[in-house]
Chain A
Amino acid sequence: MNNEPKKPAEKVIEIENLHVAFGDNEVLKGVDLSLYRGENLVVLGRSGTGKSVLIKVLVGLLKPDTGRVVVLGQDVVASDTTELDKLRLKVGFSFQNSALYDSMTVRENLEFPLVRNVRNLSRAEINRAVEEALDDVGLKQAINQVPSELSGGQRKRIGIARTLMLKPEIMLYDEPTAGLDPITCTDINNLINDVQERRGASAIIITHDLTCAKEVGDRVAMLFDGQFQREGTFDEVFATDDKRVQQFYHYNFTE
């Protein structure tokens, strides 16, 4: 990665004082967070602490109650649908359960965002893009299969491939390794690192898998009680006596 010339790295995502509540349940209570260009930021936290809510706010799937959210220089909260759609082309969102379109083959899944957003592509160009994306995730042979024929790990990789079709500047991964075996998890971690290195994408990775966090995270932020309580490199975040943080660590690394 050629990040030598930019010393004060450019912020691609800026979140300030973000509040989100569902009825009486306040999930995010004044979150501040920045993502810098080219970095992988891991967001850790217990289930139900609002990690997914956070990235859904970033792409406008959820509206916050208060707070400022700026993605690639664009204020998400103030954007209308057309502006949001423009922004969404530059932000890839990998869903926890992959969210592949069941009624379509893998090829059609991958083509779907491409043919609807990039005009005047020839059949050959579309095919090449699909094959390239599948090659990146190592699943070229699955091109004509339907999602129900794929394993959990394969679905995850196809899901990531689909978001890569539009060559996003920012990737948002929601629990990329949840429910997968350790070997597949390693594959996914490598894939996430690969996307960062080869495509130069910045990423937020939501997880509670510490191996994943350690492998892919340039920086780690820990969400507790609706706010980021700890932030830094992996080792910095866990160098504390805070019981909750320690519990998190010991469950994953028991030695």
Chain B
Amino acid sequence: MNVGTLINDLTIFVLAILLGFEVISRVPATLHTPLMSGTNSIHGIVLVGAIALGAAADNPLTGIVAFVAVVFAGANVVGGYWVTDRMLQMFKRRPVPKADKPAE
């Protein structure tokens, strides 16, 4: 890792953290659960790294490691976005009349 790369990466990292603080401190408490599950899906971006691992795997050990990583990250991404959407569609200004789900 050369010093140039390191400094570039650190710059991006620090700026992204500041951006994160700025954007997220405006999220109202009402939405904190969807926020958390939404950011959860965002960290599923490790999927990109896991796919690269899968492509580079050249022996059984790295193959297994890569497979497990792809499974974890894939579940994280798909499940995370889906459940966040499921939650957010419930937030309504006024309930839709008669759209009541049977109470469990």
Are A and B physically bound partners?
A: no
Using a CB–CB distance below 8 Å, which chain B residues touch chain A?
none
